[in-house]
Amino acid sequence: IGTTIQNKPETVEVGSSTIFQYPYLHMTGHGNVVFSDEEIENLKSYLMSGGFLHIDDNYGMKPYITREIKKLFPNKNLEELGADHPIFNNSYSFAKGLPKIHEHDGQRPQAFAILQDNRILLLFTSESDLGDGWEDPTVHNDAPEVRQKALEMGANIITYAFKN
């Protein structure tokens, strides 16, 4: 692909015009998320103008981020992506859809999206915790095959975001 990725990610605020310099944003964390009206307006403008946001629930974000997504897109619903969606089958194949990287509540991993004209604007991954597999191996002591699945799914997400 010829993409150069920096070792240290940049941190940007959703209310800042700086987000428009990045075609792909990644958000993760635990617990409460609240966007101001100005942040909602800026983020929606970013997404509608071609930006891509991946939100990876590290644990405990779901009730809060789904509330904020509803404020962001009041006329759209998060749609669960089936295992046949191209995001699971571009660079690497995931026949069952989103892989399970870290166990929290015994629930199945799910990928949800806000779509516009069949393009994913926002991807929300839940009960998977892809970020655990992307961190230094010593942080979570994940098995190499688990880390590999997380990295491959991450490659699929980035490939999808840049090609669509």
Per-residue pLDDT of the chain (164 residues; tens, 9 = 90+): 566 777 788 899 999 999 999 999 999 888 789 999 999 999 999 999 999 999 998 777 899 999 999 999 999 999 999 999 999 999 999 999 999 988 777 789 999 999 999 999 999 999 888 988 888 888 878 888 999 999 999 999 999 999 98
Q: How far apart are CA 82 and CA 87, in angstroms?
A: 10
* Model pLDDT, residue 117: 93
- Which CATH code fits 17-163? 3.40.50.12140
69 touches 122 (CB < 8 A)? yes
Segment (H or E) for 125: strand 119-126
pTM of this structure: 0.92
DSSP string, 51-67: -EEEEEEEES-HHHHHH
Q: How far apart are CA 82 and CA 136, in angstroms?
A: 30
**What does DSSP say about strands 52-59 and 79-80: parallel, antiparallel, or unpaired?**
unpaired
